[in-house]
Chains A and B, each alone.
Chain A
Amino acid sequence: MLGEGIVRGLAETARNFFGSFAEKERLTTVQFPEERRVPFEAARNFPFLVYDGDGKESGLRCVACLICEKECPPRCIHIDKSKDKKPDFVGKAQFYPAAFTIDVSVCMSCQICVEVCPFEAIKMDTAFELSTDDRFAGLLWGKDRLAKSNEHYHAIHPTEAAEVDERRGQEKAAAEAKAKPAAQPAEAR
C-alpha cells in the first residue's frame, strides 16, 4: 500500500521519542552548562607547564631544552633560554626558560610537545572555556598563564601523574645515591 513505508518510519520516530524518556541510551545529551560531564582522564586541550612545590617560577620543570619548540608541528611554542643555570630537582644545574610562550590560537592540541619532552615538564590541560575578546594578545600565553602546579596535574590526570611522580622519585633517589660517595670527583660519573 502506498504510504505504508512512511507510516512504518513514523513508528520508529515515535519509538525513539517516547523511548528517550525511559532510556538513557536514547538521550545522550547533557544540559550544559548547568550539567557537566567529568572529562576523561586522557582528555586534552592546551598544554601547560608543570611546577613542583609552591614556586610558580622556581619550581618549573622545564629546562629550556627547546625540543618541544622544534617538534611542535605548527611551531607555536617560543622559548627564550636563560643565560644562567639553576639546580633542578636532582640538584643538577640546568637552564630554565626566561620566557615560554604558546600561541594558542595556532596550537592544535596535538600533544606532540608532551610526548617529546624528556623532562615531564609540559602536559595537557583539560580546561576548555577559554574564550577571549582579544584575538592576539589574549591568545598568546606566557609563562605565568601556562604554569600550573603538580597538584593540578594530579587532579586532572591522576594515573599518569602518579606514574610520573614515581619515575621522578626514582630518578631523584638514584641521583642522591650517586651523590653519597661525594668524595669522588665529578668526572667519575
Chain B
Amino acid sequence: MTPEQIRSEIEAAIPGCSVEVAPNGAVPGQASLAVDRLHALEAAWFLRRHPGLLLDFCSNVAGVDWLDREISEKVKVRKLVDGVEQEAEETRKSKIPGRLEAVYHLFSIEKKQGPVILRVRTENRSDRVEIPSLTPVWRSAEFQEREIFDLYGIVFTGHPDLRRLLMWEGFTDHPMRKDYVPPPEDDGPQDPRGAVGKEAAAG
C-alpha cells in the first residue's frame, strides 16, 4: 500500500484524525505518515491490526529535533503600481516553528513487509513536548522511547516507566538537541599550542 492509501484508510477509520504524508527526497516510495498527536495511539493500533498491513514489529524509534527555521520563498504578486497592474516578485519570509519528533519504523514479520514510517510531532520544543507513548502497542518502543525522553526531552504520556536511559539521574539537559552546549571537557584532544604542547616541545 502506498502512504497515500494508508493515510486515507486511517482518516476514514478514525474520525478526527489528521494524517499528513511527509515526502522523502532520498528514497522514493518511502514517504512517512505524520499523525496528529491526539490520535497517534489509535492510529498505531489501527496499523497494527489492519489485516493488509499487520505491522506487528516496530523496529526503530528515533527522535529528531527540528529547530525554528526561517524559510524565504520568492512569490509572484500582482500589484498596482501607478494605477497599472504589474507582476512583481516579492520575498516572503515564513517561520516554521521548531518541534521535536518521534519517528517509528514499522515492519510486518507476519507479512514480511515494510517499512511504514510513522511520525508523531510535539507542539513545540520547550514546554509542550508531550506525545502519547506507543509502548502499549509495541513493547519494543519501551527502551527507545526512554532514550528519546532522555536525549531529546520528549515526554511520552502513558509510558510505563519513563526514566532516563543513558544519562544519569539528576542530569538536566537533553544532549541530542541541536542547541545543546556540552560542558567544557578536560580530556579531549590536546591542543599542541597549549601548555602540554610546550612541555612536549621542551622535553
B170 interface residue per 8 A CB criterion: no
Distance between Cα atoms of A98 and B82 in the complex (Å)? 66
A103 touches B201 (CB 8 A): no
B196 touches A74 (CB 8 A): no
A45 interface residue per 8 A CB criterion: no
Binary CB contact string for chain B from 190 to 203 against chain A (1 if under 8 A, 0 otherwise): 11110011011101
Distance between Cα atoms of A106 and B185 in the complex (Å)? 14
B200 to chain A: closest CB distance in Å?
A: 4
How many residue-residue contacts, CB under 8 A, span A and B? 36
B199 touches A78 (CB 8 A): no
A99 touches B192 (CB 8 A): yes
**Total count of chain A residues near the partner, CB < 8 A:** 15
Question: Which stretch in A27-35, A136-144, A163-171 binds the other chain?
Answer: A136-144
A136 proximity list for chain B (CB < 8 A): 190, 196, 199-200
B199 proximity list for chain A (CB < 8 A): 136-137
B5 to chain A: closest CB distance in Å?
A: 43
B191 proximity list for chain A (CB < 8 A): 78
A74 touches B200 (CB 8 A): no
**Total count of chain B residues near the partner, CB < 8 A:** 12
B1 to chain A: closest CB distance in Å?
A: 41
B196 touches A106 (CB 8 A): no
A106 touches B189 (CB 8 A): yes
B189 proximity list for chain A (CB < 8 A): 74-76, 103, 106
B193 touches A140 (CB 8 A): no
A101 interface residue per 8 A CB criterion: yes
* Residue from A74, A78, A134, A138 within 8 A of B192 (CB atoms): A78
Distance between Cα atoms of A20 and B50 in the complex (Å)? 60
B192 proximity list for chain A (CB < 8 A): 78, 99, 101, 103, 140, 142
Q: List 21 A-B contacts (CB under 8 A).
A: A75-B189, A78-B192, A101-B197, A103-B189, A103-B192, A106-B189, A106-B190, A136-B190, A136-B196, A136-B199, A136-B200, A137-B196, A137-B197, A137-B200, A137-B203, A138-B200, A140-B190, A140-B192, A140-B196, A142-B192, A142-B200
Task: Beyond A78-B192, A103-B190, A106-B190, list 13 extra A-B contacts (CB 8 Å).
Answer: A74-B189, A99-B192, A101-B200, A103-B189, A103-B192, A106-B188, A136-B190, A136-B199, A137-B200, A137-B203, A140-B200, A142-B200, A142-B201
Task: List residues of A whose CB falls within 8 A of some B CB.
Answer: 74-76, 78, 99, 101, 103, 105-106, 134, 136-138, 140, 142
Task: List residues of B whose CB falls within 8 A of some A CB.
Answer: 188-193, 196-197, 199-201, 203
